[in-house]
C-alpha cells in the first residue's frame, strides 16, 4: 500500500476548537453527522454537542472502546480484529462501513488508535465517510494522551470539511499519512 506523507498541514492548527466553525458549517449545508469512536471515547460527539444548534445535525455517537463492542455495534469482523488488530486500516474501514450501515447521516466519522502512553502512542486511523465516499487516514500524532485525542477531534472536523467541499462522488481514498 502506498502512503502519501504530508509533514505539515499549513491550514490546520491543532490547538483550535474547530467545532466552533464546523458545526455551523454542517448546519448551513444541512449535513447530518454520526460518529463511531474508540480512542476519542465520545470526544468528537461531545465537541459537536457543545455548540448551539448541534441537535439539528448530530444523529448519533457510538463509543466502541472494546473489540466486543466494535463487533456488536459497528459490525467489525472478528477476522479483521484477529488478523489486523483493532488499531488498523482494516478495522477503521469496517468501523466506517458499519457506522454508515446503521446511521442515516450524510457524514460519518470513526476513530481508532493509541492515545498513549506506550510505544505506539499517537498511531491513529481516522475514517470519514461523506455520502458514498470513504476516506481513511493513518495519522502519527505527537503529544500527551489528551493532546493526541484533541488533535484527532480537530483533524476529524478539518478533514471532514475539506472532503465535503471537494466531494466528487463515490470513491475510496486510503493510505494517507499525516504527521502532526
Please report the pLDDT score of residue 3 as a whole number.
41
Distance in angstroms (rounded) separating the CA atoms of residues 19 and 78:
34
Please report the pLDDT score of residue 166 as a whole number.
84
Please report the pLDDT score of residue 17 as a whole number.
84
- Per residue in 7-58, pLDDT (tens digit) is 445 445 555 788 999 999 999 999 999 999 999 999 999 999 999 999 999 9
Those residues of the chain that have pLDDT short of 70 are: 1-15, 169-180
Please report the pLDDT score of residue 7 as a whole number.
46
Task: Find the radius of gyration of the CA atoms of the chain.
Answer: 15
This prediction's pTM: 0.90
Question: Around Cβ 72, how many Cβ atoms within 10 Å?
Answer: 13
Angle value at C-alpha 135, between 134 and 139, nearest 5 degrees = 150
- DSSP conformation letters of the chain: ---EEES--TT--TTS-THHHHHHHHHHTT--EEEEESTTTTHHHHHHHTSTTGGGTEEEEEE--SHHHHHHHH---HHHHHHH-SSSHHHHHHHHHHHHHH---SEEEEEEE--SSSTTTTEEEEEEEETTEEEEEEEE--S-HHHHHHHHHHHHHHHHHHHHHT--SSEEEEEEEEE-
The strand pairing partners of 177, in sequence order, are 5, 138
Amino acid at each position: 500500500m502506498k502512503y502519501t506523507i504530508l509533514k505539515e498541514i499549513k491550514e490546520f492548527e491543532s490547538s483550535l476548537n474547530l467545532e466552533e466553525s464546523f458545526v455551523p458549517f454542517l448546519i448551513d449545508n444541512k449535513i447530518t453527522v454520526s460518529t463511531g469512536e474508540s480512542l476519542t471515547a465520545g470526544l468528537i460527539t461531545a465537541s459537536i454537542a457543545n455548540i448551539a444548534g448541534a441537535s439539528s445535525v448530530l444523529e448519533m455517537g457510538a463509543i466502541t472502546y472494546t473489540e466486543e463492542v466494535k463487533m456488536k455495534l459497528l459490525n467489525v469482523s472478528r477476522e479483521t480484529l484477529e488478523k489486523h488488530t483493532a488499531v488498523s486500516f482494516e478495522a477503521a474501514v469496517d468501523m466506517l462501513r458499519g457506522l454508515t450501515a446503521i446511521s442515516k447521516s450524510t457524514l460519518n466519522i470513526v476513530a481508532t488508535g493509541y492515545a498513549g502512553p506506550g510505544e505506539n502512542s499517537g498511531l491513529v486511523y481516522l475514517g470519514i465517510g461523506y455520502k458514498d465516499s470513504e476516506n481513511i487516514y493513518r495519522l502519527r500524532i505527537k503529544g500527551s494522551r489528551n493532546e493526541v485525542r484533541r488533535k484527532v477531534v480537530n483533524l476529524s472536523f478539518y478533514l471532514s470539511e475539506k472532503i465535503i467541499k471537494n466531494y466528487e462522488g463515490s470513491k475510496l481514498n486510503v493510505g494517507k499519512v499525516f504527521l502532526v
